[in-house]
Amino acid sequence: MKVDVLVLGGGLAGLSAAYHLGERGVRSRLVVEAKDRVGGTAGSVTTGRFTFDYTGHLLHLHDPYGKSLILDLLKDNVAAHERKAWIYSQGAFTRYPFQANTKGLPPETVADCVAGFLETVHRPTPLDRNPDFLSWCRATFGDGITRRFMRPYNEKLWRTPLSKLTTEWQGRFVPKPTASEVLYGALTDGNALFGYNATFRYPVRGGIQSLPDALADRLEPGVVRVDSPVLAVDLREKVASVRGLGEVRYERLVNTLPLNAFLDLAKPLPAGVKAARGDLRWNTVWNLNVGIDRPAPADKHWIYYPEKRFPFYRVGYSSNFSPHLAPEGHAALYLEATRPGGTRVDRDKLEADMIKGLREAGLLRRSDEISAKIWMPVPVGYVVYDRARTPAVNTIFRHLASLGVESIGRYGGWKYSFMEETILDGKRCAERLTGGEPAAEPSAAPLRALK
């Protein structure tokens, strides 16, 4: 088999690349996907009468093109929501984000947080050009907010000392309030919709799976092959070995597999690239989904748990995104914990701890019946932005570009991003391959030039 463009992985990045290549006249393209369905991390699993995503997968639409494409794909199968996100700490629920909503916490905590924030305003701490995340938190939010939320929560999520993380990933994801917003949020419950992503959209039926399904439906029959894992890639010979298809020769390769997994399948690799591969670190998201025979509280979409006594860092009620994810009178919950990628996890123990944690958090009562329970881990869930990440990624991408190989998406691009951006990654990749946008590296010649 021979194609102009071979796309590895049928998640949103791979589907989007194939769709936008088609829009730009490239017909000879093939997407090979290991699982029996498209969508990857933006997929859903139905068990009994519950449908679960890989934790929460909410649509935050910021780009005009991304927004119009996604809304056109979902047509009337989408609803808009105002975020109802909370934090549970020191026995109290406060609104998310913590930095703008301390009302309800013990007075000494509120004072600590507000005073620390005001310090950052009156006596700003100069920061390096590339500060570590801990120093950045202290300089941006002050010691109180850092100690009470930023540090414990982020350590639980990243599983890495914050002084070893960079700030490259956080950008707009961690909003900084003004002094008056901090004071207002300490005195009133008025900052509910503060910050980035205060509203979101979500499919009415079918879970987030309906988005990749709609994108795949735009492709001609045969462009996507599911149940077709790529087993090996010979970068020099430009041939991939795919289970069920045999050898697939390609002109150009687009990888959307997690970069570590792709490099483990690819050969030959120079020593520098192998060394860079060894520097990549990631966390696995251990996502346990639970269905219970009682409706979800109407005022909560999800809750952050920064304290160590809870095994999860976040629990969400997906049946509040769409009532069709759970049978009537039932709630669908997702629980999230992370562990460093590649470490062994005793799943039975973690599950017992998670259920105990749900009881201690008051989310599960003795009288509740668990009607569904399913693990949906994401093996490469969060790329860890330590100091080694960016130099390693640059080395790897320089080499791949010299071979005309694109590596895109949240995991192929080895970054922190979200669904809309992933779809745009696929579009930009198609533009580069067809000469519409300058290639990342001059050696990555546009596809037309190869024909």
Ligand X SMILES: Cc1cc2nc3c(=O)[nH]c(=O)nc-3n(C[C@H](O)[C@H](O)[C@H](O)COP(=O)(O)OP(=O)(O)OC[C@H]3O[C@@H](n4cnc5c(N)ncnc54)[C@H](O)[C@@H]3O)c2cc1C
**Closest approach of Cβ 38 to ligand X, in Å?**
7
Between 41 and 120, whose beta carbon lies closer to ligand X? 41
CB closer to ligand X, 58 vs 326: 58
Residue among 229, 231, 250, 228 at smallest CA distance from 239: 250
CB of 436 to ligand X, least distance (A): 21
Q: Is 110 left (phi over 0), alpha (psi -120 to 50) or beta?
A: alpha
Complex with ligand X: residue 165 or 337, whichever CB lies closer: 337
Q: Which is nearer to ligand X, 110 or 332 (CB)?
A: 332
- Whichever of 35 and 67 has its CB closer to ligand X, that residue is 35
Judge whether 157 and 304 are in contact, CB under 8 Å. no
Helix axis angle for 12-23 and 210-217, nearest 10°, is 30
Q: Which residues contact 221 (CB under 8 A, 6 or more apart)?
A: none
Closer CB to ligand X, residue 57 or residue 399? 57
Question: Which is nearest to 386 in space by CA: 441, 421, 340, 422?
Answer: 340
The beta strands (E) that lie in 224-270 are given as 224-225, 230-234, 239-242, 246-255, 266-267
Backbone angle region of 45, left / alpha / beta, with phi > 0 → left and psi within -120 to 50 → alpha: beta
CB of 250 to ligand X, least distance (A): 14
The CA–CA distances, whole Å, from 284 to 34, 226, 382 equal: 19, 24, 7
Minimal distance, residue 430 CB to ligand X, in Å = 14
Rounded least distance, CB 286 to ligand X, Å? 10
Pairing of β 199-203 and β 78-82: antiparallel
C-beta of 186 vs 396, nearer to ligand X: 396
Closest CA to 285 of 79, 56, 124: 56
Place of tokens 């930009």: 428
Q: How many residues does the chain have?
A: 451
Minimum distance from CB of 45 to ligand X (Å)? Answer: 13
CB of 265 to ligand X, least distance (A): 7
Q: Cβ distance 408 to 425 under 8 Å?
A: yes
- Which residue's CB is nearer to ligand X, number 189 or number 264? 264
CB of 243 to ligand X, least distance (A): 8
Q: Which residues bind to ligand X, rule: CB under 6 A?
A: 8-14, 32-35, 40-42, 54-58, 60, 229-230, 256-257, 261, 285, 378, 381, 409-411, 417-419, 422
Residues 74 and 58: their CA atoms lie apart, in Å, by 13
Q: How far apart are CB 260 and ligand X at their closest, in Å?
A: 11
44 vs 109 by CB, closer to ligand X: 44
Cβ-based neighbour number of residue 192 at 10 Å: 16
